[in-house]
Structure 1
Amino acid sequence: MKVHILDDWFDTLRGLPCFELLKGHDVTVWTDHEECEAALADRLQNADCLVLFRERTKVTRSLLRQLPNLRLISQRGAYPHVDVPACTEQGVLFCSTKGGDGANYAAAELTFALILAAMRQLPQQMASVKTGAWQMGVGRSLRGRRLGLYGYGRIGRVVADYARAFGMDVVWWASEAGGARAVADGETVAVSRASFFADSDVVSLHLRLTPETQGTITTTDLAAMSPRAVLINTSRAGLIAEGALLQALNAGRPGTAAVDVFASEPLTNAADPLLSHPRLIATPHIGFVTEDEFDRQFADIFAQVNAYAQGAPIHMVNPSVFAP
């Protein structure tokens, strides 16, 4: 099959073990991002299969209508960027998996790195010493402080293990079902939502973005946080109500936020009010951006391509399209 891989910005995949899974296919790797839909369609005219790199390119009805040869789209994870009904209308099979039982350790590691960066003022201290000013302030230790984890999932549980290794006290808030699982596992769930936000030195969000969780973190939640508290978000920006984080930082509650995700990505406007806020630590959505995580994720994606080529597709989102 003619397989086109989109948005591999640093040309990483060809050097990973998983790429061997595509041996025998005619593979084209695009290492830039084409924003113009017409130009993108022109690139992909001969594609039988598209491999998507997370949510970097939107697959719209109008794009699909310009790709008469396309038969398969393969990716991993959630798919708010893919028009699945349009795929079905155009006869394109869409395959996506959430992966196996393992946690995304790369995302968990970045989460904890941001906790350390915020509490120890690492970006500010590094900027200060680079200018010859030496120290710029006094950070805080993690031992004995409280980490509040919102969402009882796999990544959150890994972060909890890291936190306990640093001597932190861990509390949880989650859905009713998630809270029940936490209690059954012997974890501590906050007595109330208000106390969870008010009493945590660090709050880290670990929820999937769904219609139900969109905007679930409100201005009231953030206003309850201490002026010395830190908010961490390596999940999705949409979990926080629109405009609420900027409003909260301007009000000084929480005192600091460290985020890896933004409402509009890539965010390249250095003057953006949130990105440029002096109490915001930011990374450019790199929670999953490690060679190890890419190899794990794309092994699943490429396995879907091979399964389709062998006439036995897996992880079909719109199975009505496939006629064996």
Structure 2
Amino acid sequence: MKQDPATDGPTGFSAKFAEPVADYLQFLQLERGRSENTLRAYDVDLRNLGQYLKDHGGDPTLKQISVDMLRDWLAYLHDSQISRTTMARRISAVKNFFAWALKHKLVETDPALRLAAPKKERRLPHVLQPSQIDRLLSPELNQHPSQVDSASTTATDQAEPEKNDVTALAVGARDKVIAELLYASGLRISELVALDIADIDFERRTLKVLGKGNKERMVPFGKPAERVIVDWIRSHRRVLASDQAQDALLVGVRGGRLNVRQARGVIATALKSLGDTSASGPHALRHTVATHLLDGGADLRAVQEFLGHASLATTQLYTHVSVDRLRQSYRQAHPRA
């Protein structure tokens, strides 16, 4: 697959398009409370259009952009062989942007109104079996700390093996929290790394999570997750944490809050070590816990609330219902089963 055009590095499209885009992103941030990840995605998608218009469309003003120009841009994206999912996201970003521009009288007509998005690819992440989860969360995970967060292994560190052992144990204990808590709570990876210690209610075994759209929800977790969290906080966190970490639950070897890339690397390494799954990232654990909840008889709306989905339709598309559970429900409910 070819590289997605105009997404990497700074772009040089003109202020004719850049200024209204900046105003729109500020509107999304201040008035709609969109997350940093959402703003970044909109920025990338709209910059892609702006760069195309400068390079291929004569660098028009916002009012000069026509539906034909937008269709030419879509043809360009199609020729670049980007995925249907990315294409649909780009179209959605542009349609929302021009709807905002029309409302604020920056354009006289909406050129994106008649743009049609391709059907999204509905490829669901691989679901781990319970036996795979058992191996993933076994004590052996502590023996293989994340390679992504191994910036501490310098020549100086090699001269201090005792210090290295303590650090390795701390990293292993932290990685255990990441894996155990992702499966216990179904959190998005960005939600996980944003957790503070104060967000944990040990008495009720719940997490206070700030999700998409700055919506707060309470998420339960089980005793196994509680055990590894307590062990991490009491015995290992202080080995890694500096003042920079403040109240962050998860910290990196440099002392600050663990970031999304590092946490993603922890799970990627752990999943790869299983050797018998195509799952490669933290989203697979989110999908797995949702599937296991449904297979265990959980109500779909309860799973929706658990995952923090705004729409039940999203949960229906996101979760996988096993054939065995479907057959069992049919036998129990259908009069002529």
For the superposition of Structure 1 and Structure 2, which TM-score range results when normalised by the shorter chain?
Answer: 0.3 to 0.5
Answer 1 or 2: higher relative contact order, Cα 8 Å, separation at least 6: 1
> What TM-score do you get using the length of structure 1 for normalisation?
0.32
Q: Which has the higher helix share?
A: 2
> What TM-score do you get using the length of structure 2 for normalisation?
0.31
